[in-house]
Structure 1
Amino acid sequence: MNTGQHERLEIVAYSPLKRFLVRAVIALIMLALGVGGYYYGRWSIWHERGTAVIERDELRVVTREQEEELKELRRRVLVTESSNAVDRRAYREVQQTVLNLNARIAQLENELHFYQRVMAPEKVDQGLRIDSFDLKPTEVDGAYEYQLVITQVTDNNTFIEGRALVSIIGKRGETQNVTIPLKDVSSDVDDLSVRFRFRFFQNVAGQLQLPEDFEPEKVQVILQSTGRKAMRIEQEFDWSTQEAL
């Protein structure tokens, strides 16, 4: 038997209370960690939700501002377009007014020139004259407004009278040089010729309606005055340009 080796025995006192306390502390720590994690998660969610709400409210504010800005821009566009339309309309109106004024000025200049010729006989040949024959198309096909101006250039105030024969010359089908008296195409003329009597000038105006199968080429005007100084004046006007031939 080996007596040199000795087994060492350690006697530990058993304490149920201590073990309970250790377990309780561990349980409390675990509970605290669980509760802390739960409330931390709740706080994190609340914080993120609060941040999202703030961002949402900020976005709403920005959206409203952008909507207001967009409305303002649209309003400006409408105002600009309206202004441009008004400017264009005003420009057209002003342009038309200028054209009308220029046309009126040209008309007045022509009238002034006409009166100067009539009232200043020393500057032009005296006697009976065919001043002009004008045609103006109407909205009706083949219908025209006509105006014949007859003048007397004289150094006295005596009346002149006589007859004016107006004829339209053209072709009908294959027939050339067909002559139609004004009486046959104008309800304003009752006789073959138009009577005139005036001191300085006279206008013979009305409307004519050409036959459908007639193609006009020129207008012939013959004036025949009566009295001691009877005169016969004949002149032709091209239909298209109304210029004296």
Structure 2
Amino acid sequence: MLGATALHGQSAAPPQAVTAKSASTALREENARLRQLQAIDREAQATLRERIAGLVAQNGELTRRLALLRGVLVPDGQTPELGIAELLLSPQAVEGQFGYRMLLVRVPPPASGGTLNGRVEVHSLGQMDGQPLELRLAQLRLVLPRLQTLAGTLALPAGFEPQRLQVVLQPRGQAEQVFDFAWQDLVAAGPPMTAATPLP
């Protein structure tokens, strides 16, 4: 009898209790899986939004660049052989220093080809101590197959008040071309500006 009683005391839980416990465990596991799936879904959506934003920005930049290149066209619809598609000045942390970026564009005639070499000079026209003054701020290499981007920093002397920026393109074996811009327009432009018409 004692053996029977001891055996009876160690008997398994009722089937209903086992079933409820198993169901509870399965429910917890299912909830954990759902939370994990939700986290993965949120991460995927965030990544997708970032990619879409990047593609939109890239498309906007390409559209802007295309508009700038179209802006190089002269009124009669012909494309000049050499020009400036965009130019931007950006004030730097150091007073008197301005970052610049310009895009040179060349559309060679059908009979020609190769790279156009020469020199690019950047000048600023303004005033110092009430007197007109022209400064050469940069001298760069012109190595232009079809497109060439030039970027760097322009440093103005203390007390100089810039009014205009001139970019002088000096292709080897050809007449130089001078492009003239209002300094403040370039600084305030935000997006790079379409180039001015070359001076006569």
TM-score of the alignment, normalized to the shorter chain, above 0.5: yes
Pick aligned residue for 1:204 from 135, 150, 169 = 150
Larger radius of gyration: 1
Give me the whole-angstrom Cα distance separating, in 1, the residues matched to 2:155 and 2:79.
35
Contact 2:122 2:165 in 1 (8 A): yes
Give ranges in structure 2 of 5+ residues lacking alignment: 1-48, 187-192
Give me the whole-angstrom Cα distance separating, in 2, the residues matched to 1:182 and 1:233.
17
Please report the RMSD computed on the Cα atoms of aligned residues, expressed in angstroms: 3.0
How far 1:101 sits from its partner (Å)?
A: 7.3
SS in 1 for 2:185: coil
How far 1:102 sits from its partner (Å)?
A: 6.5
Give me the whole-angstrom Cα distance separating, in 1, the residues matched to 2:64 and 2:103.
13
1:219 aligns with 2:165: yes
Q: Which whole-Å deviations, capped at 9, do the CAs of 1:109-149 have from their partners, x for residues lacking one?
A: 1223456689xxxx532311122321011222222111122
More strand by share: 2
Tell me the equivalent position of 1:164. 120
Range with bigger deviation, 204-213 or 156-165: 156-165
Tell me the equivalent position of 1:195. 141
Tell me the equivalent position of 2:181. 237
Read off the aligned partner of 1:179 and give its amino acid letter: E
Contact 2:170 2:176 in 1 (8 A): yes
Q: Which whole-Å deviations, capped at 9, do the CAs of 1:162-216 have from their partners, x for residues lacking one?
A: 111110111111112x111114xxxxxxxxx322112101112101222220111
Pick aligned residue for 1:142 from 79, 82, 96 = 96
Read off the aligned partner of 1:142 and give its amino acid letter: G
Give me the whole-angstrom Cα distance separating, in 1, the residues matched to 2:159 and 2:153.
19
Question: In structure 2, do the counterparts of structure 1 residues 103 and 182 end up closer, same or farther at CA, with 3 Å as the change threshold?
Answer: farther
Tell me the equivalent position of 1:181. 136
Question: In structure 2, do the counterparts of structure 1 residues 114 and 154 end up closer, same or farther at CA, with 3 Å as the change threshold?
Answer: farther
Read off the aligned partner of 1:106 and give its amino acid letter: G
Give me the whole-angstrom Cα distance separating, in 2, the residues matched to 1:103 and 1:241.
24
Question: In structure 2, do the counterparts of structure 1 residues 116 and 174 end up closer, same or farther at CA, with 3 Å as the change threshold?
Answer: closer
Give me the whole-angstrom Cα distance separating, in 2, the residues matched to 1:215 and 1:115.
31
Contact 2:81 2:107 in 1 (8 A): yes
Give ranges in structure 1 of 5+ residues lacking alignment: 1-93, 184-192
Question: In structure 2, do the counterparts of structure 1 residues 117 and 215 end up closer, same or farther at CA, with 3 Å as the change threshold?
Answer: closer
SS in 2 for 1:126: coil
TM-score w.r.t. the length of structure 1 is: 0.47
Give me the whole-angstrom Cα distance separating, in 1, the residues matched to 2:158 and 2:62.
36
Contact 2:71 2:85 in 1 (8 A): no
Higher relative contact order (CA 8 A, sep 6+): 2
Contact 2:69 2:85 in 1 (8 A): no
Percent identity for Structure 1 against Structure 2: 27
